Amino acid sequence: MNYPTPHIQATPADFGQTVLMPGDPLRARYIAEHFLQDPVLVNNVRGVQGYTGLYQDVRVSVMASGMGMPSMGIYSRELYEAFGVRNILRIGSAGAIQPHINLKEIVMAMGASMDSNYQTQYHLMGTFAPICSFEMLQAATRSAEELGVAYHVGNILSSDFFYDDDAGVPEALDPKKNWQKMGVMAIEMESAALYLNAARCGKNALCICSVSDQLVWHEYLSAEERQTGFGQMMQVALETAVKLEK
Ligand code: HPA
């Protein structure tokens, strides 16, 4: 794949080895302005701002994925294939579906289950199990421990549906309940596509999410509270990026 791509007007030299990917372009800009030293804007196609700056003398990039697997699929594929990016660390939010996982806690997705057809493109005679990079997971758990941040590691669900048509569905057929029975920690909408692209491109990926919604207890963070959980996750993500460089 050649650069520039339809969605990223930049060169490989514009990106660090590790790209942090929130879903939201405004959050990418906020991270660049508040956490990185000397951030430089490297992409602005469709307002998907990408920045590269320094954190503890390491070049780190941050660019939004947009929402959902098609959008994550586009940006991660282009970053890996056209821009030579080695590690993508998604930093998102998720809705917990286990009763013991609390608001503001961090979930690290060792695996990403899905209700999407994204992997049909690979023509596998079976289903692939999308998993994170062990190296990245190890760096992230070590960073969380050093920072004293609580985290959970396990499976998450990457869903195509934020609003599902579940009115009147009998409990035995309720997908949330059934994913919960399988031990899945939380629902978000991007990681499986990221992990599949990483596998196909021979690269590394990890998703860490801060819990913004507790879907068992119907608790939801206010906009202000989301920032607190987000700040801790950012610290973990940046320390992880530094560890990956060593
Ligand atoms: N569903 C899907 N994605 C999410 C949610 C949710 O409840 N909360 C945060 N991201």
Residue ranges per domain, the chain?
12-244
Mutate to test the pocket of ligand 1, among 212, 214, 221, 233 (most ligand atoms within 8 A of CB): 212
Rounded alpha-carbon distances, angstroms, from residue 215 to 25, 77, 184, 186, 218: 25, 31, 13, 9, 5
* Digit-coded pLDDT (tens) for 210-226: 999 999 999 999 888 87
C-beta separation of 90 from 234 below 8 A: no
pLDDT of residue 20: 98
Separation CA 195–CA 203 (nearest Å): 9
The CATH number of 12-244 is which of 3.40.50.970, 3.40.50.1580, 3.40.50.1700, 3.40.50.620?
3.40.50.1580
Does the CB atom of residue 191 touch ligand 1 within 6 A? no
pLDDT band at 34 (very low <50, low <70, confident <90, very high): very high
Is the Cα dihedral 61, 62, 67, 68 positive or negative?
positive
The yes-or-no answer on residue 166 being catalytic is: no
Does the CB atom of residue 93 touch ligand 1 within 6 A? yes
Residue range 221-238: mean pLDDT, rounded? 87
CA of 32 to the centre of ligand 1 (A): 24
Helix (H, G, I), strand (E, B) or coil at 71: helix
Mutate to test the pocket of ligand 1, among 93, 97, 103 (most ligand atoms within 8 A of CB): 93
Residue range 54-67: mean pLDDT, rounded? 98
Does the CB atom of residue 229 touch ligand 1 within 6 A? no
